[in-house]
A and B are shown apart, each in its own frame.
Chain A
Amino acid sequence: MVSGLINANPVVYEKKERRQRPASIPDADEYSAEAIDQLEVFDHVRDIKDPEHPYSLEELKVISEDAIEVDDRRSYVSCFRVTFTPTVEHCSMATVIGLCLRVKLMRSLPSRYKVDIRVAPGTHATEAAVNKQLNDKERIAAALENPNLVDMVDECLAPSYA
């Protein structure tokens, strides 16, 4: 049976328990000296909907808290590295998922944070090519000027804004 989906029967996992957070106004963090941690970054992306299935990236184990690393080598620049695992090795949705992660974090984190996104090593057939595109900000900027692509991304991001 040809369903048209890349991965018709994904494995769905349980969601991790959520830590209670005090309500915070997004822009308040812009100038706060308090550093943003892995869990906070994870909270921004865990509920993003997979482009093909009615499940979140967390439920499909595409993204997990451990896959977010803080890179604090430099005092003057704050960086995060986000590693995601596509559900199948030949997933052509990998770039869309990566784009969703990028857009959500761009909109949610203070602009001083740098984000590097990559697929988990060994989990994708064209890993280097996908990583290169996802980290070329000029390509990302051009892609986000494409209304169809933006609509697709926004649909995936909708559940993550709650």
Chain B
Amino acid sequence: MDLDDEGSNFELKEIQTLSGHTDRVWSLAWNPATGTDDAQPVIASCSGDKTVRIWERSALTRSWDCKAVLEETHTRTVRSCTWSPSGKLLATASFDATTAIWENVGGDFQCVSTLEGHENEVKSVSWNASESLLATCSRDKTVWIWEVMPGNEFECASVLQGHTQDVKMVKWHPTMDILFSCSYDNTIKVWAEDDTGDWHCIQTIGESSNGHSSTVWAISFNAGGDKMVTCSDDLTLKVWEADIEGMRSGNDQVLWKHLSTLSGYHDRTIFSVHWSREGIIASGAADDAIRFFVESKDSVVDGPSYRLLLKKEKAHDMDVNVVQWSPGQENRVMASASDDGTIKIWELATSSN
């Protein structure tokens, strides 16, 4: 496979730049139900301009257009957006301390619910795989778990305390109802439900467990769900692994262990990291660059190590805030967004020599 061949040359080809937002773009999400033969790819993006934009690629021209601007709902920066696994709902998290839920009703996006409760800025929102739970996190140091009820009703199931600072991101495990959060307090926390339905922290990954030494900005899982990668202000990416079979059998004692630290590759804060289903780790950083890493087949002794596949300098004119691989049929297509107010669609291709 070309990823294993260290002689292969890769290049990141720019497909299109999506402009429209009038302030920095903080995040974006590919609609998971699109990018197939029947459904053209769709992306949602959110910005400091308080709006969310929906972009769709035209089947005819293969060019991306802005299909909708979701405005007049959030009163401050929209920090994060994520589609439900079925692609039917979009959740948006805002500095205005609310999380809005949107539904596409005949081409029109309507806000069908507003989740209130956090004391200040909501930073991230995540749906679990079965779409039965939603998690949000905030600068108020808490993580909230919401139950999704019929009729677009959401009920707060738990308010999780434990982080000692601003919580930057929450992410559900891809297959199990285990929740992960990362924070300005430099730790990653793992949360699970016990037999009595109470949620609690089953693991805290801090500096003493080979964890990060500064703010952890993002978490991403590999396709199998047995590894995760985190990125930080400490300029490293860290890869973690866990015994997936043990987790599946409901063993609460299963711990995530440090596998590898990728250091020396970034010299400014890494804001985003995303693991593709093929195993390519993409990172977006404050030096305007996007980097790609793959597992190196070299070292077998201490376990897998990772090597830099490609570094794209000046991917944007300003900080890269988010990188997200497309879930669609097309391979190695990725989107990024930046403080420069744009979203870029890319294709990671092998360059012809």
A interface with B by C-beta (< 8 Å): 73-74, 76-77, 111-112, 114, 132, 135-139, 141-142, 145
Contact A74 B77 (CB under 8 A): no
> Knowing that A76-B287, A76-B314 are A-B contacts, what are 6 other residue pairs whose CB atoms are under 8 Å apart, sorted by A's residue number?
A76-B288, A76-B289, A112-B318, A136-B215, A139-B166, A141-B48
Chain A residues with Cβ under 8 A from B317's Cβ? 111-112
| Contact status of A145 and B77, CB under 8 A, knowing A76-B288, A77-B287, A132-B215 | yes
**Interchain nearest-CB distance for A78 vs B (Å):** 11
- Selected from B24, B79, B184, B268, the residue in CB contact (under 8 A) with A77 is B268
Which range contains the number of B residues in contact with the other chain? 20 to 34
| Contact status of A114 and B268, CB under 8 A, knowing A132-B215, A141-B48, A142-B121 | yes
**Interchain nearest-CB distance for B311 vs A (Å):** 10
| Contact status of A132 and B214, CB under 8 A, knowing A142-B121, A142-B139, A145-B76 | yes
B267 lies within 8 A of chain A by Cβ:
yes
Give the interface SS of chain B, mostly helix, strand, loop or mixed.
loop
Chain A residues with Cβ under 8 A from B347's Cβ? none
B interface with A by C-beta (< 8 Å): 24, 48, 76-77, 79, 95, 120-121, 123, 139, 166, 168, 184, 214-215, 233, 267-268, 286-289, 313-314, 317-319, 339-340
Chain A residues with Cβ under 8 A from B120's Cβ? 142
In the bound assembly, the distance between CA atoms of A100 and B121 in angstroms comes to: 22
In the bound assembly, the distance between CA atoms of A73 and B340 in angstroms comes to: 23
Give the interface SS of chain A, mostly helix, strand, loop or mixed.
loop
Return 13 A-B CB contacts under 8 Å, by A number.
A76-B313, A77-B268, A112-B318, A132-B215, A135-B233, A136-B215, A137-B319, A138-B79, A141-B95, A142-B77, A142-B95, A142-B120, A145-B95
Contact B215 A73 (CB under 8 A): no
Contact A74 B286 (CB under 8 A): no
In the bound assembly, the distance between CA atoms of A10 and B264 in angstroms comes to: 43
Contact A136 B77 (CB under 8 A): no
What residue of chain A has the Cβ atom nearest to residue B289's Cβ?
A76
**Interchain nearest-CB distance for B217 vs A (Å):** 9
In the bound assembly, the distance between CA atoms of A23 and B178 in angstroms comes to: 60
What residue of chain A has the Cβ atom nearest to residue B165's Cβ?
A132
Chain B residues with Cβ under 8 A from A77's Cβ? 268, 287-288
In the bound assembly, the distance between CA atoms of A154 and B24 in angstroms comes to: 22
| Contact status of A111 and B318, CB under 8 A, knowing A139-B166, A142-B139, A145-B77 | yes
